[in-house]
Amino acid sequence: TSSSRGGHSGNAAGARSQSEGGGRQMFDKNELRLVRRDVFLEALDRYRAKAFAEASRAPSPDLAVCTLRPAEQAVRIYARKRPMTEEEHAKRRDFDVATVLRGQPLPTKLILHNCLFQADLKTPFINHLGFEFDHVFGEDAKNHEVYRLAAFELVLGAREGG
Question: Residues 88, 71: contact at Cβ < 8 Å?
Answer: no
Q: How far is CA 161 from CA 16, 72, 73, 144, in A?
A: 64, 19, 19, 23
Q: What DSSP designation does 134 have?
A: S
pLDDT of residue 109: 95
pTM: 0.69
Residue 87 CB neighbour total at 10 angstroms: 9
Strand partners, 33: none
Tens digit of pLDDT for each residue in 67-110? 555 556 778 899 999 999 999 888 888 899 999 998 878 899 99
Q: Rounded to an integer, what is the distance from CA 55 to the centroid of its chain?
A: 18
Residue-level length of the chain: 162
pLDDT higher than 50, residue 36: yes
pLDDT of residue 60: 56
Strand partners, 80: 137
pLDDT of residue 29: 82
